[in-house]
Amino acid sequence: MIVKDLIDNGFEPVLLISENTELKAAYTSDLLSDVLANGKEDSLLITIQAHKNTVAVSSIVGIKAIIICNNRRVPDDMKQLALNEKVSILRTKEDQFKTSYIVYKLLYGNE
């Protein structure tokens, strides 16, 4: 899956590094220590945590994109750090459960 697939499926780009960034997996969590321990490189993070620490953790892990759920506002300092760290940010009105389902289907089809 690439970031463009997310955009084509209704996820709103807030900060787009590249539409062609490949995402090999996804992880859903709102606990950043959990993301540090279990997130995967070249993946997508699904969360409601709209703050710059989410980008910092994503950068450490090697996460390439973040989806912020529940239509939460993305603060400017989060966008700036994401730009610096080359992490795309998208947003959705959906909750983490439905977002995870949509992303699963994009990654794995009907497995």
pTM of the prediction?
0.96
Domain housing 26:
3-108
State the helix-helix crossing angle for 76-85 and 52-61, rounded to 10 degrees.
Answer: 20
pLDDT reported for residue 77: 98
For the record, the structure tokens of 31 come out as: 């606990």
* Per-residue confidence (pLDDT) for residue 57, from 0 to 100: 98
Number of Cα atoms under 13 Å in the Cβ half of residue 73:
3
pLDDT score, position 11: 98
Number of domains in the chain: 1
Query: What is the CATH classification number for the domain harbouring 22?
Result: 3.40.1390.20
Sequence-separated (6 or more) residues with CB below 8 Å from residue 8: none
Whether residue 106 is predicted with pLDDT greater than 70 in this model: the reply is yes
